[in-house]
Amino acid sequence: MARAAGQHSGPDGGIGGLLAGAEEEHAVGGEQLMDAGQNGLARLLREIEHDVAQEDDVKAVIAAVEGQRH
């Protein structure tokens, strides 16, 4: 569909409307990058918590085995 002349122009007759769209897309991309970073940190924290829980389980088994030896 053809657009009317000046439809993409800004209030001063320039191409500001075109550039504003690019800036908005860049801002959204930045938010997505931030979300990805936060998701990565959350996943790392869950993995650490899981590893600590496993380590605690191993320590409990070792303590139980040592208790049976004595």
Among the listed residues 33, 25, 7, the one whose alpha carbon sits nearest the alpha carbon of residue 41: 33
Rg (CA), the chain: 29
Integer Cα distance of 50 and 30 in angstroms: 30
Residue 14: which pLDDT band, with cuts at 50, 70 and 90?
low
Long-range residue pairs from 51-58, CB within 8 A, at least 24 positions apart, any chain = none
The 10s digit of each residue's pLDDT in 25-68 is 555 666 777 777 888 899 999 999 999 999 999 999 999 999 98
What spatial distance separates the first Cα and last Cα of the chain, rounded to whole Å?
A: 86
Integer Cα distance of 57 and 50 in angstroms: 11
